[in-house]
Structure 1
Amino acid sequence: MSLKTLHKSFAAFLFLFSLIIYLDTVAPTLSFWDCGEFIACSVIMGVPHPPGSPLYLLIGHLFSNLPFGDIGWRVNLISVLVTALSVMLLYLTAVRLIRLYRGPERSLVDGLINYGGAAIGALVLAFTHSVWFNAVEAEVYGISMFFTAIVFYLIVRWADEADEPGSDRWLLLIAYITGLAIGVHLLNILAIPAIALVIYFRKREFTWSSFLVMLALSGAGFAVVYPGIVKYLPATFQISAVIPVIIFLAVGAGAWYALQTKQRIAFLALASAFLIILGYTTYGSIFIRSQLDPPIDENNPDTIERFLSYLNREQYGDVPIMTRRWNNDPNYSSEADFFWGYQVNYMYNRYLLWQFVGQEGDFQGAGVDFSKFYALPLLLGLFGLAYHVSRDRKRALVVLTLFFMTGYAIILYLNQDNPQPRERDYAYVGSFYAFAVWIAIGAQALLEWLAKVGRDRRARVYVLGGLVLMTLALPVNMLAKSYRMHDRSGNLVAWDYSRNILETCAPDALIFTNGDNDTFPLWYLQEVMGVRQDVRVVNLSLLNTGWYIKQLKHMDPQVPISFSDEYIDRYLDQHDMTALRKRYWPKNDPKKPTVLSIPTPDGGTIAWDVPATMHLPTGQGDTGEPNFLRVQDIMIIDIVATNQWKKPIYFAVTVSNSNMIGLRDHLTMEGLAFRLNPVKGQEIDPELMRRNLLVTYKDYYRNLDNPDIHYDDNVYRLLQNYRSAFLQLATYYLERNLPGTAVYHGANPPEQTLASFDQLSDHDKVLFILDSMERYVPEDVIPINADEITLHLGRLYADLGRPEELRRRMDRLASQPNLPADKRYRYGAVYLQWLGDTAAAEKQFQQVLTRNSGLEERLQVATAYAQMKMYDQARGLLAEVSMQPLDAEGQLRVGAVYLQIDQPEQAEKIFQEALQKDPGTGTMLKVATAYYQAARFAEAERMFRQIMARDPNNGHAVGGLLQIFDRQGDAVKAVQLLEGWVASHPNDTGARNQLEQYRRRLASGAP
């Protein structure tokens, strides 16, 4: 095999292998976050959130018309294909960079060194977390990395061929691709400084003066593209639509003139600008499509003014670069500390280490796990960086520039605040790509060293052996360790969960949703799949914008809104003082009552207090409490009032109470949504809940019982909403507790039980509901995210006669590693009190003592031993505790345990010591209470009477004595006590009523 064929074989293998892996793990349909929006907009040619991705949508529309597979899967294929191409491009780029300092391959060993090293770097990139994550869903970051990869490859190729005729075509192609890439994401223009460096080092010898000139020209070129072409060129439309056309044609004419007059530099500069503008014209599709009012038309950029606002992302506001977003976060001592600790370390360095050291897990805030990749990729990359600098510092500076611009420079520019709604690692894949180049170079250096060690005869064996070992230690290990976490095959949650939200709603309903994950997937189902298009989704975040309010008002299905378009534009879409006064909502101001009322269908009204939801300073006397309503709050109020109960109104269960404008008591749960109800206090609709959970959703809990499917932390959180609904329905029947005529047998088919559900006792209904929950959303696959819920569920089963279900859950909870002492103690108490398992309880208590030797833990365990009647163990712990210096509170607790193990003399001694340290009434009350709880009523009565002798007005002592007399059945003493108390406290009506009750008991002869 020739070296050229070997080179092509490596490239083809890398493309095909990564393509196969990505195809095997790609999401079968839409995923959460922006994916549903991008797929829907691709299919219907809608307008997504600013600044849009028109080229991606055009390509997505093409892929959506493929004649096979789910539509969401078809659009996902874009990311699969371009990421596999990016892996191949990294290999091709790395080979060319290696040749620049090592020379072309002259033998098979040379080929294995160059190609093998480059292949290692490419495969490592393929299986880094963020690259793989982007490769298997419909998002712009995969194709954005592809554009970065291809322009970087093209500039390196140009450097190889710069002296050949026609090499300038690569520079022009780079310019055109850069223009096109802007139609995907602005990240791609960050490669411009690296491109400029390649051109400089290829055409000029380094001098400080020429280098500074290059930096100035590079900065100027970057400014021409951004903000020049991206922001300022479209802005000229405000003056006249002819101006940008004239500029475009003038640039093209200038390029033609320069070509004719053989002015090469001027031609390249003007032709590049012309081609960037030409590529950028894909944004015209956004303007054109918005004119046609597609169902998804975010920001409605159908006028020049709104289109420019859309391009400039004005919806998100301006972020200062120099002033870091610290906001006096108590976790950071200064702006500099916040910048380094949060923005750099947490929001970038952590992500970099995820890729090349290992990720702790697939959950928000995950740390770095050295045991995943053992930092081998990181170390090899750092070695490759050092080696690259030593062999070819010019190109090393190029890669370093790309790494910085696509990593740390973004951190500086974005100035992210804390917290973020999700992890942001996906945005930095350009820098991970650059680091993978150094991994390739580091691998090549090690293979070259092995060839030298093996000398001529054994060089091939050594190089092949090293290549195999590095492949196993790096990419193969990364593939094995990361495969499950990145495998989305079979993950249908976004489709099913969103479908179930829509199907919860009654016909022609409105549903308020919270954010991306309960809105974008619903848009996809409605606009692409035609599911429940009668339901109007109202996103609360977007409800703060005027354009969205008007779309809801005018586009079918219309939302009842009373405000005129002029009012919306003037008061709801502005933030000046006049507009803000309309949102002023002070508390306890008679001129601005916060209690609202609306009529109900039966002729009555519902009234509720609407709390302010945001604070704006109003001057002197400002308390800092919320004093304004958000636009979304005003709109919910108006929609509810204007609707007049004509359309059913729902809130998704993901909407927080703070976004419900005080209506929570009027919301009735029907499944994955709450319905607004004129009746207050009806927490659930049991019939609709049962029908939705057990019938409507039945076929759309797909794969939630499949342990082979991976779900991330975000999905786990969402799926708890199913459990919440099941448990609330079960609690309803548990509290009602009506008898029935049929009996539930767990072995019967669910359909048979469901058919006779109404005949079951409420006891059996609860069991069936809990079993159905476990069948559809099993805990072994979808873990419960709170131990409290697990315990509650287990206790429910135990109360219903299935203690084995509690034991199963307790065994799982207790097997968790590194449990804190309070949880261990609590689990031991559950074993003891609910299951009567003293052996399991003692095992937990022993672990508490083994891992924690504090006073609190020993007292807790001693108390538990006393309850278990393990008196010897309790005495041993109490002896240990008593040897430590104790305050009065500690002595009181020790004395209480001595009472429990029937050692009243020891208890009395310790109580006296405590009273000497703190002779106050509070200590005496605690001693008396300890005697009462130990059923030593004589000692308790004595102590309570001592308290009353000191303080005749002490109601706690009176209450304690009454409890003793009740337990003893001594109504005479109770009457005597209360007569004395009422005589000295004639206004105590409660005591007077109690006295009358006791007198009646005495008169009737009752004890």
Structure 2
Amino acid sequence: MKLNPGKLVALLIFLFSLGVYVATLAPSVFWWDSGEFIANVANLGIPHRPGFPLYILLAKVFTLFSAQNLSWRTNLFSAACAAFSLALVYRIFLRISIERFSSKRHKVLAGVVGLLVVLLFGFNYSYWIQAVRAEVYSLAVLLFALLFWLVVKIETGPAWSPKTQLVFFLVAGLSLANHPAIALSTSPALWYLLMTKSGRAWKPMTLLASIVLFLLGISVYLYLPLRSLNRPELNWLNPADWQNYLRTILAGGSAGPLQPFDRHLFFNLFGICKIFFQQLGIFPLLLAGVGFWSLGPRRRRWLWFAIFLTLFNWLVLGLLTEEFIPDNPDLHGYLLPSLLIWSLSFGWGSLYLLNRTYLFFSQPIFTRPLKIIVTSVGVLFLTFISAIPGYQSRALCDLSSNPIPEQYGRQALADRDYGSLVIIDNPNLDFLLRGLQYGENFRRDLIVIDRTLLPAEWYCQQLKHNYPNLFKHMPTPLTGEKLALNLATDYLNRGKTVYWEFAERDTALVKYLVPVGYLCQIVKQPEQLDSLWAKQIDWEAKNLTWDTHPAFKFDGDAQRVWSRVMFNLGYFYERKGMLTEAADKYRRILALSPDEGLVTRRLKIIGENQIRAGE
């Protein structure tokens, strides 16, 4: 059987991109949701809203077929989804580009330009960073690309295909079961192409079968209540009853609540537009405009498709973004569908210009070698501008050489006493520790509690189920800070060790805390403090050196977490009266971020206190 050249190239794209992603893959946990997803894949648990059941189930199956640690296998699942998506993107580009032309020259140029589309889309920061860590966005893009491919098959086919329609509805349901916010933001554009297709045939039985398949796809959400009834160790919001189940699935995604239509929304949209231009570049976007015009009779429908897709995609992201952080990978993940369509249009524009150039130099006054040289130069120039985003992103996306998140999590727990209680005040650290404990079986003897979640009743119920002995003497109504303090006191009274992550609101506990690494140990007698200071000084000299690691300057989350750690230590030393040590921590923060107003004020207060002490 002769293999179609387009399919062969798509296979090579899959293998090549997978190789690049594996070479730059995070070896272990990464910041924020990555660690949480790894833990839930290991435990078959329920992550934060909306639960992402399809991702959890598919990643669980995928991770069964490798001997590497589960964190790496879960990261590899993202890489495989991303590589498969690029193969589909290439096939989509060829299908749309070649349908109106039969000449061999046009097909060859389309094949070459399709590679440039893959290069531009697959190796910009927004896409690449999703492929090298455990996240839902690679799977979301894969499902969108599959839906897009099915619509293109219907659009470019000679007749309406009932089978393709059935598969489309099934994948649409599955897409909602993975990331509903992205799925809903792309639905209007996809439906526009379907509903405006000439010759469509909505036969009653086919339509009924389509609805059944759609419901079958979305029924993956039944995993949440069914699994919750079995009380897994990780059971976010406990969606076993209808009220919590609806609260879970009706969440838009991993972003915050909907923002009002005010200046905040327009600020978000401006930031999104800026990210969009940074990821693709001005020249590719100009070529994208040419690309829509070049599609001939169908250009109006494709242009409206791109407008609908971009508008709803940006609007959903703008409404869900509570705090706009430009280097937040999650923000970039939401933008991938609109980046995909504009990357395709860049390819159509490039193909149009190359064809026009070739035809112009085909006139008798020009020699054949000149025609070939000029066309080749054009291809090289387009290759150059397609490779710029990847060149700019390679250091940001090479997580294989970024051990900072894993080291932070391991160092936080490495030397803690066996069976101790660790109370932290940092969701980012909480997710890292979950990933290490469940994904890599690291320090499972420790009880880790995130007190930022203690006000939530479901979290307290989860802890009571996982650690019944811990709550044996606890008053039932307690939640929040009171529960954290009571748990710490009771555990100390049993003769066990308690570690506490210090924050600004813990000034009343300062005299009973001594720093041990990133955390503090609670001691009953303040005179026990002096014996532990020397160890902490040595530990800080060895481990608080993130800012010297080559990956630090490319990792925005590492910079924010490091600044938080340094501020908490500095504020702790300040409350202890160790003003020199506190000032040193504050100055290191300002060396990284000179505009930190709170740190500047604390440093000013220390200076005034030192002057008064001298007087």
Residue equivalent to 1:496:
407
Check 1:415–1:477 CA distance in 2 against 1; reply closer, same or farther (3 A cut): closer
1:414 aligns with 320
Question: Which one-letter code corresponds to 1:516 in the other structure?
Answer: P
Is the Cα–Cα contact under 8 Å of residues 86 and 122 in structure 2 kept in the other structure?
A: yes
| TM-score, normalising length: structure 2 | 0.83
Q: CA deviation at 1:141?
A: 0.7
Which one of the candidate residues 260, 265, 271 is aligned to 1:339? 265
Q: Give the TM-score normalised by structure 1.
A: 0.53
Give the Cα–Cα distance (whole angstroms) in 1 for the partners of residues 80 and 140 of structure 2.
12
SS of the counterpart of 1:174? Answer: helix
Separation in 2 of the partners of 1:421 and 1:112?
A: 38
Q: Which residue of 2 aligns with 1:714?
A: 557
Which residue does 1:201 correspond to in 2? Answer: 196
The corresponding residue for 1:846 is: none
Do the aligned residues in 1 keep the contact of 2:510 with 2:572 (CA within 8 Å)? no
Gap change, CA 1:389 and 1:708, over 3 Å in 2:
same
Amino acid at match of 1:663: L
Residues 848-867 of structure 1 aligned to structure 2 (within 5 Å): none
How far apart are 1:318 and its partner, in Å? 9.7
Does the Cα contact within 8 Å between 2:511 and 2:526 map onto a contact in 1?
Answer: yes
Relative to 1, partners in 2 of residues 1:12 and 1:543: Cα closer, same or farther, differing over 3 Å? same
Work out which of the residue numbers 332, 351, 371 in structure 2 matches 1:425. Answer: 332
Counterpart for residue 465 of structure 1:
377
- Shift of the 140–297 alpha-carbon distance from structure 1 to 2, 3 Å rule, reads same
Aligned partner of 2:587 among 788, 806, 814: 788
Q: How many equivalent pairs are there? A: 583
Deviates further, 554-563 or 541-550:
554-563
Deviation at 1:396, TM superposition (A): 2.1
2:598 alignment counterpart: none
Q: Residues 295, 13 of structure 1: CA spacing in aligned structure 2 closer, same or farther, 3 A cutoff? A: same
Is 1:128 aligned to residue 124 of structure 2?
yes
CA 517–684 in structure 1, closer or farther in 2 if over 3 Å, else same? farther
AA at the equivalent of 1:114:
A
Q: Distance in 2 between matches of 1:163 and 1:315?
A: 37
Cα deviations by residue, 1:771-806 (Å, 9 ceiling, x for unpaired): xxxxxxxxxxxxx99893399xxxxxxxxxxxxxxx
Q: 1:99 to 1:421 in 2, by over 3 A?
A: closer
Q: Aligned partners of 2:10, 2:246: CA distance in 1, in Å?
A: 42
Aligned to 1:916: none
Match of 1:105 among 93, 102, 107: 102
CA distance change for structure 1 residues 701 and 490 in 2, over 3 Å: closer, same or farther?
farther
Deviation for aligned residue 1:387:
4.2
Partner Cα separation in structure 2 for residue 728 and residue 400 of structure 1: 50
Aligned to 2:608: none
Is 2:230 the counterpart of 1:292?
yes
Asked if 1:54 corresponds to 2:53, the answer is yes
Is 449-458 or 26-35 further displaced after alignment? 449-458
Task: Give the Cα–Cα distance (whole angstroms) in 2 for the partners of residues 197 and 120 of structure 1.
Answer: 28
* 1-structure distance, mates of 2:103, 2:325: 54
Deviation at 1:728, TM superposition (A): 11
Quote the sequence identity (%). 21
Contact persistence 1:182–1:280 (CA under 8 A):
yes
Kept after mapping to 1: 8 A contact 2:492/2:498: no
- Consecutive unaligned residues of structure 1, counting only runs of 5 or more, are 206-262, 325-334, 358-374, 569-630, 736-765, 767-783, 792-812, 820-962, 964-1007
- Residue 275 (structure 1) aligns with: 213
After superposition, what is the alpha-carbon deviation per residue over 1:532-572, rounded to whole angstroms, capped at 9, x for unaligned? 2222111122111011112223422743475555x36xxxx
Measure the CA separation in 1 of the matches of 2:386 and 2:290.
17
Helix, strand or coil at the partner of 1:538: strand
Cα 1:203–1:82 shift into 2, 3 Å: same
| Structure 2 gaps, min length 5 | 596-614
Secondary structure of the corresponding residue to residue 541 of structure 1: coil
Give how far 1:519 is off: 0.3
- Tell me which of 513, 516, 522 is aligned to 1:676: 522
* Partners of 1:420 and 1:465 in 2: CA distance: 35
Q: Name 2:274's counterpart in structure 1.
A: 350
The superposition leaves residues 59-94 of structure 1 with CA deviations (integer Å, 9 ceiling, x where unpaired) of: 211222223323211111111111112222222212
The letter of the residue matching 1:416 is E
- Write the distance in 2 (CA, Å) between the matches of 1:726 and 1:99: 62
1:382 aligns with: 289
Q: 1:616 maps to what in 2?
A: none
Give secondary structure in 1 for the equivalent of 2:188: helix
**Which of 238, 241, 249 is matched with 1:303 structurally?**
241
Q: Deviations over 1:723-742 (max 9, x none)?
A: 789999999xxx9xxxxxxx
Query: In the alignment, residue 106 of structure 2 is paired with which amino acid?
Result: D
- 51-60 or 419-428, larger mean C-alpha shift: 419-428
Structure 2 distance, partners of 1:356, 1:548, is 42
Question: Structure 2 vs 1, CA of residues 665 and 382 (structure 1 numbering), >3 Å: closer, same or farther?
Answer: farther
Aligned residue for 2:601? Answer: none
Alignment of 1:156-167 (within 5 A): 156-163=152-159, 167=161
User: 2:513 pairs with 660, 667, 671, which one?
Assistant: 667
Secondary structure in 1 aligned to 2:470?
A: coil
* Structure 2 SS opposite 1:184: coil
Residue 170 (structure 2) pairs with residue 176 (structure 1): yes
Residue aligning to 1:73: 72
The question of whether the paired residues in 1 share the 8 Å contact of 2:74 and 2:134 is answered with yes
Name the structure 2 match of 1:327: none
Alignment of 1:112-261 (within 5 A): 112-163=108-159, 167-186=161-180, 187-203=182-198
- Partners of 1:419 and 1:480 lie apart in 2 by 22
Considering only aligned residues, what root-mean-square deviation do their CA atoms show, in Å?
A: 4.0
Q: CA deviation at 1:440?
A: 1.2
| Cα gap change, 1:301 to 1:400, in 2 (>3 Å) | same
- After superposition, the C-alpha distances for 1:795-824 in whole angstroms (9 at most, x for unaligned) are xxxxxxxxxxxxxxxxxx9xx9x99xxxxx
- Structure 1 counterpart of 2:320, one-letter code: L
Q: Is the 8 A contact 1:14 1:88 kept in 2?
A: yes
Q: 1:478 to 1:491 in 2, by over 3 A?
A: same
User: Structure 2: how far apart are the matches of 1:315 and 1:338?
Assistant: 19
Residues 299 and 310 in structure 1, CA contact (< 8 A), matched pair in contact too: yes
Which structure would you say has the larger RCO, counting Cα contacts within 8 Å and 6 or more residues apart?
A: 2
Q: Once the 2 structures are TM-superposed, how far is the Cα of residue 713 of structure 1 from its aligned partner? A: 2.5
Deviations 1:31-56 (A, max 9, x none): 11101111111112111111111111
Aligned residue runs from structure 1 range 770-849, under 5 A: 788-789=587-588
Of 485, 493, 504 in structure 2, the residue corresponding to residue 657 of structure 1 is 504
Cα distance in 1 for partners of 2:83, 2:253 equals 34
Q: In 2 relative to 1, CA 421–516 (structure 1 residues): closer, same or farther, beyond 3 Å?
A: farther
The 1:650/1:467 distance shift into structure 2, 3 A limit, reads: same
Residue 459 (structure 2) aligned to one of 502, 524, 548: 548
SS in structure 2 of the partner of residue 470 of structure 1:
helix
Cα distance change of structure 1 residues 71 and 514 upon mapping to structure 2, 3 Å threshold = same
Contact 1:37 1:520 in 2 (8 A): yes
Distance 1:58 1:727, change over 3 A: same
Residue 675 and residue 200 in structure 1: after superposition, are their counterparts in 2 closer, same or farther (change >3 A)? same
Pairing 1:982-997 to 2, within 5 Å after superposition: none
How much does 1:426 deviate? 2.0
Which is greater in Rg?
1
Distance 1:389 1:134, change over 3 A: farther
SS at match of 1:392: helix
Partner amino acid, structure 2, of 1:713 = G
